Amino acid sequence: MNTRIITIDGPAGAGKTTVSMLLSQKLGCIYVDTGALYRGVAFEILRQNINWENDDILEGLLKKLDLNFVMEENRLVLMSSGRDISGYIRTPEISMLASSSSAKLQVRSALLDIQRNIARTKDAVFEGRDMGTVVFPEASYKFFLYADLNIRAKRRFDEMQEETKDLSRVQKDMEIRDNKDSKRMSAPLKPAEDAIKINSTFLTVEQVVEKMLEYIEKA
């Protein structure tokens, strides 16, 4: 790989997105949210109302899947069959379905090339669950960001725009999703052996990015 690839893995709500955005700005490279791709698959499952647990039916959907990122004012926007779906993929229903359907090996392999193709030509910060372990084992720098569950739930709760929101529900859903993501057979959420682990429980976004830059500049 001739490009500089930085991977940031970790559970939901650990701060990966804000940290990845700021780090990519500081480094002058792009930022890729790979969770959006899994959310894109979940969006299509719901839109087409298919039984994704049936491997043949899921295969049919994946064959026709046309997901890609386009650059818009310095950020990547997720398109499905030419339509911008980024405004529809952040609901709790999509979060849970993305977590369940991402356990399918077929889904993971369908999304592999999209991710690796971006990395071929551009320096990037990639955020996800298996960036350092599976998708980019040769990455230049690997980070694993984590935090206590109650803090992660509170951060997610504060970000939510919904009028009716329930902190204990957010925390419960997060716990279920963490379990699914880390216990699945294929590409489970875990730190790569050579990843630098950062606990963000008591750190601000700026402090986390500062730590990352220290490692990057030191290397």
Of 24, 80, 99, 171, which lies in the binding site for ligand DC, with binding defined by CB under 6 A? 99
Stretch that binds ligand DC, among 59-67, 70-78, 128-136, 207-215 (CB under 6 A): 128-136
Taking the C-alpha atoms of residue 168 and residue 161, their distance in angstroms, rounded to an integer, is: 16
Dist CA 20 CA 173 (whole Å): 23
> Minimum distance from CB of 218 to ligand DC (Å)?
27
Whole-number Å distance between alpha carbons of 138 and 159: 33
Ordered DSSP codes for 105-171: HHHHHHHHHHHHHHHHHS-EEEEESSIIIII-TT-SEEEEEE--HHHHHHHHHHH---SS--HHHHH
At its nearest, how many Å lie between ligand DC and the CB of residue 217?
26
Confirm or reject binding of residue 177 to ligand DC (CB under 6 A).
Answer: yes
CB of residue 77 vs ligand DC: minimum separation in angstroms?
Answer: 15
| Residue in 130, 152, 174, 208 binding ligand DC, rule: CB under 6 A | 130
Smallest distance from ligand DC to CB 114, Å: 11
3-class DSSP state for residue 25? Answer: helix
The site for ligand DC (CB under 6 A) is made up of 12, 34-35, 38-39, 95, 98-99, 102, 128-130, 177, 181
